[in-house]
Amino acid sequence: MRVLSFTSLFPNAAQPLLGVFVQQRIAHFAKRPGNMVKVVAPVPYFPSWLPLSRWERMGRIPKREEIAGLEVYHPRYLLLPKISMPLQGFSMFAASFFLIRRLHHETAFECIDAHYVYPDGFAAILLGQRLGIPVVVSARGTDINLFPSFRLIHPMIRWTLKNAAGTIGVCEALRDAMVHLGAVDRKSTAIGNGIDLERFKPVEQQDARRRLGIPADSSVIVSVGALIPRKGYHVLIPALAETSPRYPNLRLYIVGEGESRAKLLELAREEGIADRVFLVGSRPNEELKYWYSAADVSCLASSREGWANVLLESMACGTPVVATRVWGSPEVIVSPELGVLVEQNKESIAQGLEQALQKHWSRRTLVGYAESRTWDVVAQEVESFLASLSS
């Protein structure tokens, strides 16, 4: 199958961790016999001469590069931060049209595989209509659980879903929401993300703690994610304060970076647990197995998620999870032997953490469950769905 993958959520020379989960799905699909994939990953236009480090890095992204064995193109589209969102899909389309027309002339793509409903999927449908290529659109989370609430974006999302040849949600909750917004039910499916078992695997707990400088006798909770309000750290930290009197050696390690760092440090001080909360910053993806393995429990306190990769990552390292009961999380934590589902409030999260800390967990069960959801399995499901649309 000859496929063009179109997405702005893809690694590049300046952002090697951007959209790694999208890269994994595309790369494993491309490895299946008979498949050929090229990737067009638009990036915002940033003049390389601007004296701002982030913009300067973005300006140096090459127009073409090879990533994970995939040929990746980066057309530039105009973007005015915070004010041009309603025009972003049109801008992506205009910036990519002539490149994709040339690639299609060379390759004759059978479909466009677009990731993120808006703006990426919207631009992909425009491209597909003009080039005569069917488009399959995958929803990832925010594009469906938040963007439809934006008045100017809502009609473009509905138009995208109605005109797609097929739609994929990374969880059933997203798939159902897509159908409600206009996607065709019989041409829609749910395909969750997978796990890289080479990157995420158990490390002996004390070895991991020594490597990270974590006291051996601690009770450890780890949470991985950006320091932004949606991730719920403003609820997790008070929940830790609620739990900590019964666990004198309890520690919370938050792995990630973001806009809320100062507020979270201040919150930890206000709750009287500044000595128990550690914001370790963003860490390399290959280091995460040590953080998960060092923990007794990992926690995801988000207000919304699609398919939270951190849940399977934690299980693959043999660590149970406490997660808020939102969107796709109940579809990952399908058994009380894998983790604890909670509501996003201090009391519920505190109870869930205590329940998880007291329970004896089977690491073999956790790892075995994660091993059943590899990226090869995901790629096979994607291939079967695309084939069903053309039959």
The model carries a pTM of 0.88
Q: Does 205-371 carry CATH code 3.40.50.2000? A: yes
Contacts of 288 (CB under 8 A, 6+ apart): 199, 200, 224, 255, 313
Domain positions in the chain? 2-194+374-390, 205-371
Cα separation, 169 vs 376, whole angstroms: 18
Rg of the Cα atoms in the chain: 21
Cα separation, 387 vs 166, whole angstroms: 11
How many CA atoms, within 13 angstroms, populate the side-chain half-sphere of residue 146? 10
Cα separation, 337 vs 355, whole angstroms: 12
Q: Do domains 2-194+374-390 and 205-371 have the same CATH topology?
A: yes
Q: DSSP of 281-342, one letter per residue?
A: E---GGGHHHHHHH-SEEEE--S--SS-HHHHHHHHTT--EEEE--TTHHHH--STTTEEEE
Q: Which two tokens stand for residue 72?
A: 């990746």
Q: Which two tokens stand for residue 125?
A: 């449908």
Cα separation, 214 vs 296, whole angstroms: 12
Per-residue pLDDT of the chain (391 residues; tens, 9 = 90+): 999 999 999 999 988 888 989 999 999 999 999 999 999 999 988 765 555 556 667 778 899 999 989 999 999 998 876 678 889 999 999 999 999 999 999 999 999 999 999 999 999 999 999 999 999 999 988 889 888 889 999 999 999 999 999 999 999 999 999 999 999 999 999 999 999 999 999 999 999 999 999 999 999 999 999 999 999 999 999 999 999 999 999 999 999 999 999 999 999 999 999 999 999 999 988 999 999 999 999 999 999 888 889 999 999 999 999 999 998 899 999 999 999 999 999 999 999 999 999 999 999 999 999 999 999 999 999 999 999 998 6
How many CA atoms, within 13 angstroms, populate the side-chain half-sphere of residue 240? 36
- Hey, is 6 helix, strand or coil? strand
CATH topology of domain 2-194+374-390: Rossmann fold (3.40.50)
| Interior angle at CA 363, CA 357 and CA 364, nearest 5 | 155
* CB neighbours of residue 110 within 10 Å: 14
Whether 249 and 275 have beta carbons less than 8 Å apart is answered as: no
